[in-house]
């Protein structure tokens, strides 16, 4: 019993219709030629707020009661979930307070404020974001919106998978493999519910930063492993130290496995996305592409791959360094 089902993903899709962008599938003959398989890119960079996170946030906030809407929501996030909650809250007329680390990418903090949310910065090393958020929620009577371990969040992110399978079918491609970034697992868990319901033979692989490979370790151990990484990852969006309590059993059931990619491999993938795909992708959004380019995940020759590119919110300075080969 996972607490969330394919029917929840379908219900989320109905709630999101007309509010979220149905992102297109993109094909690059150059990439497909290089990989030796047809690669169908699902660019959530083109989603509202520049990342898939809007889907889950909107799906969660749309289900608040009238009373809850008045009292508002609080969330903690280093960036993309923050923006997703902030914009969903604005569209639904709900006050939002977002707790963000003081070293979050400036572009993500600025965008969150621009969507009308109140931002409370905290010191990542000295303060607990959970405690801050819970204190705010208690004081205001507001609802905490988790970034991944919540049935409505998982179901909302799952609409990426629903669209991907249907668009691939419309493009004449039966998906052999789907590749998706993993942080806490909300995106891949949701996607896996849709993919396994509509295309059971498709293998689903998760990709995470090598320094934050908690999901790979957890899947191998058969139980949730919590990391205490000492270093930051280039992928600011993928620094979850452990899979979620809700997402992990779904991943155990549906994933073929998970692999880790290094910062250097991610930077190379960002350059490839710039040079060849002409897409602006943030580090965490690039891990699936990195896994393909390094053949850490090898699709069957001549097969079809669904590649989820999850976000494009990257500071200009970091992007400039990546495309100049300075990372």
> Nearest approach, Cβ of 227 to a copy of itself (angstroms)?
30
Minimum gap (Å) between residue 26 Cβ and a copy of itself = 6
Q: Which is nearer to a copy of itself, 86 or 154 (CB)?
A: 86
Decide whether 288 or 312 has the Cβ nearer to a copy of itself.
Answer: 312
Nearest approach, Cβ of 10 to a copy of itself (angstroms)? Answer: 23
Q: Which is nearer to a copy of itself, 185 or 284 (CB)?
A: 284
State the DSSP string of 66-130. Answer: HHHHHH-EEEE-SSHHHHHHHHHHHHHT--EEEEEETTS-HHHHHHHHHTT-EEEEE-TTT--HH
* 295: exposed, middle or buried (Cβ count in 10 Å: 0-12, 13-18, 19+): exposed
Q: Which is nearer to a copy of itself, 228 or 324 (CB)?
A: 324
Cα–Cα distance measured from residue 299 to residue 68, given in angstroms and rounded to the nearest whole number: 46
Question: In this structure, are residues 100 and 76 in contact, taking their beta carbons and an 8 Å threshold?
Answer: yes
Task: Give the SS3 label for residue 61.
Answer: helix
- Report the residue number, 95 or 274, with the smaller CB distance to a copy of itself: 274
Active-site option among 2, 28, 42, 53 = 53
Catalytic residue at 142?
no
Q: How far is the CB of 49 from a copy of itself (least distance, A)?
A: 9
- In the region spanning residues 105 to 164, those forming contacts with a copy of itself, defined by CB under 8 A, are 107
SS3 of 311, please?
strand
Exposure of 228 by Cβ count < 10 A (0-12 exposed, 13-18 middle, 19+ buried)? exposed
Residues 6 or more apart in contact with residue 65 via CB below 8 angstroms: none
Kindly write out the interface string for residues 198-237 of this chain, putting x where it contacts a copy of itself by CB under 8 A and - elsewhere. Answer: ----------------------------------------
The verdict on 246 binding a copy of itself (CB under 8 A) reads no
Based on the residue annotation, tell me whether 310 is a catalytic residue of this protein: yes
Query: x/- contact string, 262-281, with a copy of itself (CB under 8 A)?
Result: ---------x--xxxxxxxx
Closer CB to a copy of itself, 184 or 312, in the complex:
312
Q: How far is the CB of 246 from a copy of itself (least distance, A)?
A: 29
Is 150 or 163 the residue whose CB approaches a copy of itself more closely? 163
Contact present, 25 and 53 (Cβ < 8 Å): no
Residue 105's nearest CA partner among 20, 206, 232 is 232
Give the per-residue contact string, 24-53, with a copy of itself (x = CB under 8 A; - = no). Answer: xxxxxxx------------x-xx-x-x---
Q: List all residues 6 or more positions away from 219 whose beta carbon is below 8 Å from its beta carbon.
A: 251, 252, 255, 257, 258
* 285 to 314: interface string for a copy of itself, x by CB under 8 A: ---------------------------x--
**CB of 131 closer than 8 Å to CB of 76:** no
The single residue of 192, 199, 218, 310 carrying the catalytic annotation is 310
Closest approach of a copy of itself to the CB of residue 312, in Å: 4
Residues of this chain, 48-107, that bind a copy of itself according to CB under 8 A: 48, 50, 107
| φ, ψ at 216 (rounded to 5°) | -60, -45
Both tokens of 53, joined, read 């996170």
Number of residues that bind a copy of itself (CB under 8 A): 31
Q: Is 207 helix (H, G, I), strand (E, B) or coil?
A: strand
> Exposed/middle/buried for 322, CB within 10 Å: 0-12, 13-18, 19+?
buried
Q: List, by residue number, the catalytic residues.
A: 53, 310
Which residues contribute to the site for a copy of itself (CB under 8 A)? 21, 24-30, 43, 45-46, 48, 50, 107, 271, 274-281, 312, 316-317, 319-320, 323-325
């Amino acid at each position: 019993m996972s607490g969330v089902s394919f029917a929840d993903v379908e219900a989320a899709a109905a709630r999101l219709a007309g509010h979220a962008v149905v992102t297109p599938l993109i094909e690059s003959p150059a990439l497909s030629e290089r990989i030796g398989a047809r690669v169908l890119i699902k660019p959530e960079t083109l989603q509202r707020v520049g990342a898939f996170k809007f889907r889950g946030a909107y799906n969660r906030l749309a289900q608040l009661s009238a009373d809850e809407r008045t009292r508002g929501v609080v969330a903690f996030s280093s960036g993309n979930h923050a923006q997703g909650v902030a914009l969903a809250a604005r569209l639904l007329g709900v006050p939002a307070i977002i707790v963000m680390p003081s070293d979050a990418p400036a572009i993500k903090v600025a965008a969150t404020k621009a969507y009308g949310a109140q931002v409370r910065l905290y010191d990542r090393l000295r303060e607990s974001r959970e405690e801050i958020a819970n204190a705010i929620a208690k004081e205001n009577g507001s609802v905490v919106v988790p970034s991944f371990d919540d049935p409505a969040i998982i179901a909302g992110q799952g609409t990426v998978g629903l669209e991907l399978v249907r668009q691939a079918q419309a493009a004449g491609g039966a998906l052999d493999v789907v590749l998706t970034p993993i942080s806490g697992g909300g995106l891949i868990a949701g996607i896996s519910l849709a993919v396994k319901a509509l295309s059971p033979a498709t293998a689903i692989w998760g990709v995470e930063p090598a320094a934050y490979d908690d999901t790979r370790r957890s899947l191998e151990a058969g139980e949730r492993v919590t990391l205490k990484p000492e270093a930051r990852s280039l992928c600011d969006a993928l620094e979850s130290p452990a899979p979620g309590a809700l997402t992990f059993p779904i991943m155990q059931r549906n994933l073929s496995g998970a692999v880790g990619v290094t910062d250097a491999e991610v930077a190379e993938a960002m350059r490839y996305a710039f040079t060849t795909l002409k897409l602006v992708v943030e580090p965490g959004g690039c891990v699936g592409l990195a896994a393909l380019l390094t053949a850490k995940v090898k699709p069957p020759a001549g097969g079809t791959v669904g590649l989820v590119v999850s976000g494009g919110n990257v500071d200009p300075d970091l992007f400039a360094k990546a495309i100049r080969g300075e990372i």
